[in-house]
Amino acid sequence: MGNQQMRLLEAKQLLEKTANGVHPITNQPVDEHHFLQDPRVIRPLFLLLNHLNEPKSTRSKTPKKYIITQKQLDAVEIPDHPIGINAFCNRVNEQLDLTVSKKLSGKILNDKLKKLGILSEEQTEEGKKRSVTNDTSASYGISMIERTYNGSPYQQLVFDDMGRDFLLRNLHNLLEN
């Protein structure tokens, strides 16, 4: 691998750690008050990473279906701490062959979970819709946690061990419906 390619790979790996809320030098999780915990910062980083991970030949033709093999599902590496839906989807997308499969998004999975009654939706004071937990969410390993960014609190849906296992076990069924 050439020096330039090696530097680009290292830069991409640093960006991946940063997007996942891990300090790229110390490999320690960043403090919950750190700007890297704000979804307004995290989402664009994952968008960029997804674009970088796409083969150039697929950037113009996007597959229309979700196709993931059991081998790809088994290779998904999920951290041992509660994880947000977008971070989960990015871990799954790392294993997908984007020449044949559409990328998974947090919105798609949340919408599927709402259809099943596992999540609900509410309207914010600003008139925006957001996914929230309901009476059945906890039994699937889904909860809301409060995070803070620049002194402003916000709620994030997270999936614990049981929630992540549920998503991985049922991903095929969720994406077919």
Which of 4-13, 71-80, 133-142 shows the highest mean pLDDT?
A: 133-142
* 111-132 residue pLDDT tens: 999 999 999 999 988 888 999 9
Considering the entire predicted model, what is its pTM? Answer: 0.64
Identify the pLDDT of residue 148: 83
Q: The tokens of 32 are what?
A: 């919950």
Here the tokens at position 91 are 């871990």
Tens-place pLDDT, residues 147-163: 888 888 888 999 999 99
Q: Kindly state the average pLDDT of the residues 77-95.
A: 92
Span 7-59, pLDDT tens digits: 777 788 888 888 888 888 888 888 888 887 788 888 888 888 888 777 765 55
- Give the whole-angstrom CA distance, residue 63 versus residue 96: 12
Tokens matching residue 61: 């033709």
How is residue 145 written in tokens?
A: 């946690």
Mean pLDDT for 79-84 is: 91
Q: How far apart are CA 173 and CA 166, in angstroms?
A: 11
Query: Average model confidence (pLDDT) for the chain?
Result: 86
Phi first, then psi: give them for residue 171, nearest 5 degrees.
Answer: -60, -45
Question: Strand 119-123 vs strand 152-159: parallel, antiparallel, or unpaired?
Answer: unpaired
Q: Are 102 and 65 in contact (CB under 8 A)?
A: yes
**Residue 61: is its pLDDT beyond 70?**
no
Rounded Cα distance between 176 and 11, Å, is: 36
Task: Find how far residue 17's CA is from the centre of its chain.
Answer: 13
> What is the predicted pLDDT for the residue at 56?
64
Domain edges within the chain: 3-55+68-176
> What angle, rounded to 10 degrees, do the helices at 106-115 and 85-93 form?
120
